[in-house]
Amino acid sequence: MAVIQPIVNLVDIFVQHGLTHAVICPGSRSAALTLALARNEAVTTIVSIDERSAGFIALGLALGLGRPVAVVCTSGTAAYNFAPAVAEACFQHIPLLVLTADRPKEWVHQQDGQTIYQAELFGKNVKKAFELPCDTAHPDIRWYANRIANDVFLSANTFPKGPVHLNVPVREPFYPSAGDIWMPDPRNRLIGRLGSYHNLPVESWHMLQDEWEETDRILIAGGQGMFSEETCDPLARITEEWEIPVLGDITANLGNHPDFISMQDAFLHNDVPQPALRPDLLVTFGESFLSKRFKNFIRKNPPRRHWHIGPGTHLVDSFQSLTLRIPVDPGFFFRKMLEDIDYKRFLEQNEATNDSFKQEWLKEEYLAARIVSEQINKNLTSLDDLTCIGSLVSALPEDVFLHLGNSMPVRHANLLRRLGLRQNVWANRGTSGIDGCVSTAIGNALATSKPVCLIVGDVSFLYDRNGFLLEQFPQNLKIVVLNNGGGNIFRLIDGPRNQPELGRFFETRHSFTARATAADAGIAYDEIRQPAELEKTIGKFVASEGPALLEIFTDPEENRKVSEQIRSAFERSGS
Amino acid sequence: MAVIQPIVNLVDIFVQHGLTHAVICPGSRSAALTLALARNEAVTTIVSIDERSAGFIALGLALGLGRPVAVVCTSGTAAYNFAPAVAEACFQHIPLLVLTADRPKEWVHQQDGQTIYQAELFGKNVKKAFELPCDTAHPDIRWYANRIANDVFLSANTFPKGPVHLNVPVREPFYPSAGDIWMPDPRNRLIGRLGSYHNLPVESWHMLQDEWEETDRILIAGGQGMFSEETCDPLARITEEWEIPVLGDITANLGNHPDFISMQDAFLHNDVPQPALRPDLLVTFGESFLSKRFKNFIRKNPPRRHWHIGPGTHLVDSFQSLTLRIPVDPGFFFRKMLEDIDYKRFLEQNEATNDSFKQEWLKEEYLAARIVSEQINKNLTSLDDLTCIGSLVSALPEDVFLHLGNSMPVRHANLLRRLGLRQNVWANRGTSGIDGCVSTAIGNALATSKPVCLIVGDVSFLYDRNGFLLEQFPQNLKIVVLNNGGGNIFRLIDGPRNQPELGRFFETRHSFTARATAADAGIAYDEIRQPAELEKTIGKFVASEGPALLEIFTDPEENRKVSEQIRSAFERSGS
């Protein structure tokens, strides 16, 4: 009983804090963690044999649930396989409780079993790291273990949320005996933490409002995030009433307002000056920006002032123009500005300029949308990634949670945002890896009963196919694999395209398909090899019941051609 | 040209030091590394899209070649996917040059692209870590970069060998232009390092020889290693001429001498005292020991003295009995003892005792071998893992390099060593993970033209199936998957077997097979589902040309039964 008791207490504290889901990887050293979670009725468990996938499944679950999810593994390199998901969660501020069983310290590096240096395993790529004490004889240790349990959960779940590593050294025996009692210690003490919000002194608000009112050309830009109406509604009013352009990639999830700008990655140029679009004040919020062209545009045309809204403390200056951090919630900030600024006065002063500034951005937006849309219509007889994603996003139901693989799917979908405006779009853009796209979508689907769809390239799909090694595949998940036989992005970039090593070392051309992987997991599979099949097969796929995988074989040369066509269409348009 | 030149110099130094193989994962940030390796005629390149597999393929190559192999990836979590192989290489002392492209420091944690904290990524689980300077304007930096290139290779390749991480921050542009010249800088300077060996002062040799001669019951035990005749021949003479028992697991590769003891994991008991087998002096060498019973036997019966032979400096005391480190090469040590000790005198003094001590061990060895062999013959009508491995090791060619998966295959094969005595047996026992068994065997096969065979369980196979995502599968590799539908080891251990959660959380029962994975990679596949098919199908499989995968569906309950039968046979024998 002694071995299990501290772990039962740990899980009890987690559950009292609100833990509901755990992803468990098989192992013996981790048996107490597994059993304490499996035998707690409040916890739904998912079993995955590959820790790399398990990490991303937990990430997808936490993304969907909005609260910490536990993920458990045994000792040794198993824990290292969590690292890609831990890093992604860290840079995306997704709360995970990363529970790794370990040998006690005296057994590390003693050539005995599954043992590596596990303490502090994730270095700076994790929010915090703790270690549970192994010997619990002294009463202070019970206090310490109770405190750690609370700290692990609170650290993961407090802004900025993130993955927290708890290393759990365990001595044998690992398993309880038949007569063992499974009860949390009644002295287990929950330490709560009230929610709080950041505000600014009234003088700061006045200062900001004065600067805002004095500025002619304000541009608001949102980075990645799952923003609620609390943020999107005031932004819609700001762009409508104050004629201030509001911009966001597809991953910013700013909602469906038709005036929101999202074609910036198409219409901004790296080499042509676009002075009409230069802001005097840039106001950003959210996480990473997908549009490289937008970042380059701002870097080359730094605004006089750049405010970043958000209470985080890590100094990010990816636009190389930041002048002021405003540590409050973005939705609160925009609502406060709307409420406090005498907007009639604001309009009188700024209407002419702001109006024309927003119109400059919107003009480019509409033109770009037309070019892309014409391009797609022109290509309906070819199987290229962009056209296929276009057909897909138009066909998907409104309430779908859409996952997009790095690197091309998210870029293509971004170009097509106006075709199928929607909320709830996700890509692993914290570290932009291809190593967990499939498992993240699986985890997300396990967290909801709504439909989830993943659009992913062949390399990302193959990389993370072990996400399929699940007991039960989520019934609400549909996957589209765009198989262009390699890492097609390299063919679209000048640098690698011009190297003789393109095919072997960059694209890594291959002839693997997703068919067998789907069949092995008992998932309905269909494929498209001809443009004529596109519409009908997508329709059937979207309408089908249960999980399904659709593989569309697109032509890498067609993809290159479409990318060229769009590029030259934009050049011709002078945009 | 500026971007590529320092990398060309780096690769040039590596090649001058003897680099011949590199495993390359696709990426853009890593383009200069990829191109410098791909365009160097001395380097054979292998491309793998999954960095986790790539790391283990490099490990297998380095194991086969006996010298450092480079492995390259782009920035971000890609680098973290190398971690399991890096840890295994670190604890096994296998030399790897782990080359990870990175963003320059100023871009870390700036929400821009594939970026994590990469410097010192592998913590204490790597031999050394370096970072190449990103800005090379100052002449001192050229000196520094040249020194680092030498240091990386020398550190990896100097005893104790190991993985060395070189983080390579790279600024754009990543790709050379058409006119760029690709020549190593003529000022590139190779820093060599002579081989050396450890010796002891003559007084120390005398002291050791005196103690050796005075001791009645000496036991020599070898841990994991690929020992040459230089070590095995003197050991054979020592056991023949001095009647000293020499013991080693199958992973010790001590060679084919019939007197070498290897059944210790069967005949040693955890609870029955075996005083006749207690040594007064234990002499160990090599890396980890597979036999848990042997470790427990020594821990419970610590010898008066325990010498460990080997020049390593890390203090390993896994038997909890170590009294003296003797920092010389084991082969040198045993030859020196043979040469220097007046062995006639030694025999006169010790023959009676030593002879009976060796006979005590051999008696147990022969009895154990008979029990196991009878057990297998009895079970020829059932499909269990042990019987299948028995049939396999008997059928495999003499010169095969045999890879054994953790956790059961290596344990079963260990029981069967006497059935098919052979050299060149490998298992990833540095950290005993299941995450790279397939890829390690693939890498090893790529390093040789001799036959390579992997025997692996279903969970390990599925875990590492991405090793199959290669351009060309090695023609000399055969794989046997023992598919018992889960992690069968858990059914064989008392702890998990008695939990109601056995099937779901520990064994993780599943119905996946290897068939589709083999077909996808174009590898011949055969299966065995009936005991009657065993001999013929194995014969066909072993005799077949080219790569092949044989999947044997064994029965988890049969496996449990056989394990019980052997256990009780040993109990009945009173051994």
pLDDT tens per residue across span A147-205: 999 999 999 999 999 999 999 999 988 998 887 878 899 999 999 999 999 999 999 99
- A-chain residues near B318 (CB < 8 A): 110-112
* Cβ–Cβ gap A463/B49 under 8 Å: yes
Q: Is A538 domain-assigned?
A: yes
Same domain, B232 and B345: yes
**Do A117 and B110 lie within an 8 Å CB cutoff?**
no
Across B10-29, b (16+ Cβ under 10 Å) vs e yields bbbbbbbbebbbbbbbbbbb
Q: How far is B126 from chain A (nearest CA, A)?
A: 10
CB A26 to CB B490 under 8 A? Answer: yes
Q: For residue A364, give the nearest of A293, A272, A273, A262 by alpha carbon.
A: A262
Answer whether B4's CB lies under 8 Å from B171's CB. no
Q: List CB contacts of A553: < 8 A, sequence separation 6 or more.
A: A383, A483, A484, A485, A527, A528, A529
| Residues B438 and B550 reside in one and the same domain | yes
A516 touches chain B (CB under 8 A): yes
Nearest CA in chain A to B494: A175
- To test the contact with chain A by mutation, choose from B4, B73, B80, B431 the residue with the greatest count of A C-beta atoms within 10 A, namely B80
State whether A334 and A420 are in the same domain: no
Mutation site for B-interface testing, chosen from A34, A53, A80 by largest number of B Cβ within 10 Å:
A80
pLDDT for res B322 = 97
Q: CB contact, 8 Å: B44 with chain A?
A: no
Sheet holding B401-404, edge to edge: B425-426, B401-404, B452-457, B477-483, B548-553, B524-528
Contacts of A462 in chain B (CB under 8 A): 49-50, 466, 469
Tell me whether residues A88 and B109 touch, CB distance under 8 A: no
Domain boundary, last residue among B362, B393, B420? B362
Given B173, B317, B433, which is nearest A78 (Cβ)?
B433
3-class DSSP assignment, residue B218: strand
Task: Judge if A222 and A157 occupy the same domain.
Answer: no
CA-to-CA dists, residue B329 to A112, A206, A356, B196, B315, angstroms: 22, 77, 81, 11, 16
Does residue B197 form part of some domain?
Answer: no
The residues that bridge with A164 in the sheet, in sequence order, are A97, A128
User: What is the nearest CA distance from B425 to chain A, expressed in angstroms?
Assistant: 18
The verdict on B303 and B422 lying in the same domain is no
Q: Do B469 and A510 touch (CB under 8 A)?
A: yes
For chain A, what's the residue count?
Answer: 575
Q: Residue window 70-99, chain A: list those with CB within 8 Å of chain B.
A: 76-78, 80-81, 83-84, 87-88, 90-91
Q: So what's the pLDDT on residue A26?
A: 95
Each residue's pLDDT tens digit, A415-428: 998 877 677 999 99
Residue A193 forms part of a structural domain:
no
Coarse DSSP helix, strand, coil percentages of chain B, rounded to the nearest 5 percent: 45, 15, 40
pLDDT at A259 over 90: yes
Asked whether residue B181 is assigned to any structural domain, the reply reads no
- Asked if A35's CB is within 8 angstroms of B501's CB, the reply is yes
Q: Calculate how close chain A gets to B347, using CA atoms only, in Å.
A: 35
Residue A364, classed as helix, strand or coil, is helix
- Tokens representing residue A367 in the block: 């033109």
Q: Is residue B196 part of a domain?
A: no
The answer to whether residue B115 neighbours chain A at the CB level (below 8 Å) is yes
> What is the DSSP-derived secondary structure letter of residue B42?
T
- Residue pLDDT tens, chain B, 575 long: 446 889 999 999 999 999 999 999 999 999 999 999 999 999 999 999 999 999 999 999 999 999 999 999 999 999 999 999 999 999 999 999 999 999 999 999 999 889 999 999 999 999 999 999 998 889 999 999 999 999 999 999 999 999 999 999 999 889 988 878 788 999 999 999 999 999 999 999 999 999 999 999 999 999 999 999 999 999 999 999 999 999 999 999 998 899 999 999 999 987 888 999 999 999 999 999 999 999 999 999 999 999 999 999 999 999 999 999 999 999 999 999 999 986 656 666 665 666 699 999 999 999 999 999 888 888 777 899 999 999 999 899 989 999 999 989 999 999 998 877 677 999 999 999 999 999 999 999 999 999 999 999 999 999 999 999 998 999 999 999 999 999 888 888 888 888 889 999 999 999 999 999 999 999 999 999 999 999 999 999 999 999 999 999 999 988 999 888 888 888 777 64
How many CA atoms are closer than 13 Å to the CA of A503, on its beta-carbon side? Answer: 7
* Total CB pairs under 8 A between chain A and B: 241
- What pLDDT score does A574 carry? 61
Indicate the residue type of B361: W
B270: which chain A residues are within 8 Å (Cβ-Cβ)?
A: none
Residue B87: list chain A partners with CB under 8 A. Answer: 76-77, 80, 116
Does A123 have pLDDT greater than 50? yes
CB of B121 less than 8 A from some CB of A: yes
Residues B384 and B524 in one domain: yes
Residues B223, B79: one domain? no
The rounded distance, in Å, linking the Cα atoms of A414 and A101 is 41
The residue among A22 and B1 whose pLDDT is bigger is A22
Does B207 lie in the same domain as B145? Answer: no
User: Domain limits at A253?
Assistant: 202-362
Q: Which of B26, B431, B512 sits opposite A116 (nearest CB)?
A: B431
% of chain B at pLDDT higher than 70: 97
| Residues of chain B contacting A90 with CB distance shorter than 8 Å | 116
Q: Final residue of a domain: which of A327, A362, A397?
A: A362
Chain A partners within 8 Å of B175 (Cβ): 494-496, 498-499
- Asked whether residue A558 is domain-assigned, the answer is yes
Interface of B with A in 251-280 (CB under 8 A): none
- Confidence check: pLDDT of A345 > 70: no
The residue in chain A having the minimum alpha-carbon distance to the alpha carbon of residue B174 is: A495
- How many CB atoms are located within 10 Å of the residue B142 CB? 18
Regarding whether A139 and A246 lie in a shared domain, the answer is no
* Tens-digit pLDDT profile for residues A364-406: 999 999 999 888 888 777 899 999 999 999 899 989 999 999 9
What's the ipTM? 0.94
Chain B, window 438-477: residues with a beta carbon less than 8 angstroms from a chain A beta carbon: 459, 462-463, 465-466, 469, 471
Question: Does residue B177 sit within a domain?
Answer: no
Domain count, chain A: 3
Q: How far is CA B6 from CA A499, B99, B145, B164, in A?
A: 19, 14, 8, 19
Q: What distance in Å separates residue A373's CA from the closest CA in chain B?
A: 28
Residues of B (362-421) whose Cβ lies below 8 Å from A = none
Which of B52, B465, B499 is nearest residue A175 as measured by Cβ atoms?
B499
Provide the percentage of residues in chain A whose pLDDT is more than 90. 80
In a mutational test of the A interface, the residue from B72, B77, B523 whose CB has the highest number of chain A CBs within 10 Å is B77
Q: Does position A351 have pLDDT exceeding 70, yes or no?
A: no
pLDDT at A377: 84
Which CATH number do you get for residue B292? 3.40.50.1220
Nearest Cα residue in chain A from B33: A505
Residues 325-344 of B with CB under 8 A from A: none
| B140 and B223 assigned to the same domain | no
Contacts of A91 in chain B (CB under 8 A): 109, 111, 116
Is A135 part of any domain? Answer: yes
User: How much is the pLDDT for B1?
Assistant: 45
**Does residue B117 belong to the interface with chain A, where contact is any CB pair within 8 Å?**
yes
| Range B61-94 burial, b when 16+ CB lie within 10 A, else e | bbbbbebbbbbbbbbbbbbbbbbbbbbbbbbbbb
CA atoms of B282 and B268, how far apart (whole Å): 16
A568 and A440, same domain (yes or no): yes
Band of pLDDT at residue A1, cut at 50, 70 and 90: very low
How many Å apart are CA A430 and CA B112, to the nearest integer? 8
Chain B interface includes A160 (CB < 8 A): no
Whether residues B32 and B149 share a domain: the answer is yes
Domain C-terminal end among A337, A362, A387: A362
Rounded to a whole number, what is the distance in Å from the CA of A505 to chain B's nearest CA?
A: 6
CATH of the domain at A82: 3.40.50.970
Question: In the prediction, which pLDDT does B344 show?
Answer: 59
State the burial class of residue A300 (Cβ atoms within 10 Å of its Cβ: 0-12, 13-18, 19+): middle
A504 inside 8 A of chain B by CB = yes
| Most B CBs within 10 Å, among A98, A505, A507, to test the B interface | A505
Which of B116, B118, B290, B322 should be substituted to probe chain A, the one whose Cβ sees the most A Cβ atoms within 10 Å? B116
Compute the distance between CA of residue B266 and CA of residue B513 in angstroms, rounded to an integer: 31
* Average pLDDT along chain A: 93
CB-based contact, B505 to chain A, within 8 Å: yes
